[in-house]
Amino acid sequence: MVFPKVHHRDLPAVAATPAPAPAEAGTDPGPRLDGVRLVMVNWRDPWQSAAGGAEEYAWRISRHLAERGAIVTFLTSREPHQARVETRDGVVIRRMGGRFTVYPRVMAWLALWRREYRLAFDCMNGIPFFSRLVLRRRTRVVSIVHHVHDLQFNAYFPAPLAWFGRFVESAVASRVYRRCTTVTVSESSRRALREKLGWRAPVEIIHNGGVQGPLRPLDDAPEDMGDPAIVSLGRLVVQKRVSQVAGLARALEDEHPRLRVHIIGRGPEGSHLADQTSRDGTADRVRLHGFLPEEDKNSVLASCHLHVTASEFEGWGLTVIEAARLGVPTVAYDVDGLRDSVRDGETGWLVRDGEELADVVSRALKELSDPHRRAAVRRACRDWAERFTWEASGAEMTRLVARELGLPGGSDAPGTTSGRKAEK
């Protein structure tokens, strides 16, 4: 089966530093927060080696709040090469502690400066920072939970520690934050909070945004991309299960002898993937690109027929929308978060219980080999991705802050479609 070549003249790509899109120009940015002191507490910052979608979310929201006049501190861990204190885009970044020591260090720092802030965002990446226990009672705390970690603890810790992590995430955190508004990024993540963790707090949805702006064609497509070409975009960490995507080169070899798999991203699993392709004899059909600059990343992504993610744990799936922005559909497992960002049969395909990833990818490639079907899917992808902007997400969070603090402008803006949603 020969796939029509995908050229950049057909699939536009995002510029490395996009200007605001015309559609965003009329977006209500939310109320002014002049002089309001806020702190965003997140495990990592976007410039750390293992940073992902949660860091992008925390930083984009922080920038927007600063643009609306708030005085924002971004409190996070520190890698050896990073400055302890710096200011970027009007946000003061304070770094302290490492992967685990950041938790007690942050709690001590918040206790010391507890009178400085009117509101704190406590980002829970499995384990919260328990800021509610050290801040003043009058300080509002908003918990941000992208997804329930649950069995993900098993991938990193021995059984006793994994059990303890699940206990803290559920029984302890749900009690500590029971009176704090919680923000999550998808309906299925909200449902998981209720059903898996017994979460008691009010939960609101503020979606991830997406890079917007004028689209411009890139140079000619990279040569020898494969026919068909599959791509995986994201961090190379255990829970993303990128090894399954790399394994498609072998699983689909007979059906698609010219298939190539492109893996974009960096992380501790990179060396394991290289070993896997060497053992499988697929090193010539699986290309590990590593980290790519924005323009190069878009060049590879836009030149592929299908984006595949094998992750079991996602709050939403930023890479799904990033691919859709370029007209590239996604195959993903039918799990929390991804079942919201992938519209099954429209912008991609979901792997249901009892199905194999290779079988669904094969079915997707067969559909995409039809020019009319491919054009319809690409159009649906771009239309879907255009619904999500960081400007809109930031505006919704700004209104939430105003509501929490009783400031003017805290009510929902007319026409809001992706932000604050009532409990179902």
Contact 72/62 with Cβ under 8 angstroms? yes
CA gap 86, 100 in Å, rounded: 22
pLDDT along the chain (424 residues), means of 10: 49 32 62 97 92 92 98 97 96 94 96 96 92 95 89 72 82 92 94 90 92 47 80 90 96 95 92 94 94 90 95 88 96 94 96 96 96 96 95 96 93 46 47
Residue-averaged pLDDT of the chain: 87
> According to the model, what pLDDT value does residue 15 have?
31
Q: What percent of the chain has pLDDT over 70?
A: 86
Enter the pTM of the model: 0.84
187-242 pLDDT, tens digit each: 999 999 999 888 989 999 999 987 654 444 444 455 678 999 999 999 898 889 99
- Set out the domains of the chain in order of their start, with CATH numbers: 26-209+389-405 (3.40.50.2000), 216-385 (3.40.50.2000)
For tokens 């009007």, name the residue: 90
Strand order in the sheet with 286-290: 286-290, 260-264, 229-233, 306-308, 330-333, 348-351
DSSP notation for 93-146: EEE---TTTHHHHHHHHHHHTTTS-SEEEEE-BSB---GGGTS-TTSEEEEE--
